[in-house]
Amino acid sequence: MCSTAEQRIAQIGRAIDDLAAEAKRASAKSEHPRMTDGAPEPVTAVSANDADRMVMRVAELWALLAELDPEVARRLPTYEA
Can you give the residue ranges of every domain in the chain?
Answer: 5-79
Could you say which DSSP state residue 14 is in? H
For the segment 12-71, what is each residue's pLDDT rounded down to a tens digit? 888 888 888 888 887 776 665 555 666 655 555 567 787 788 888 888 888 888 888 888
Average of pLDDT values for 73-81? 71
What pairing do the DSSP bridges indicate for beta strands 35-36 and 39-40? antiparallel
pTM of the model: 0.56
Distance from CA of residue 6 to its chain's centroid?
21
CA 48/CA 79 separation, integer angstroms: 23
Q: Tell me: pLDDT of 75 over 60.
A: yes
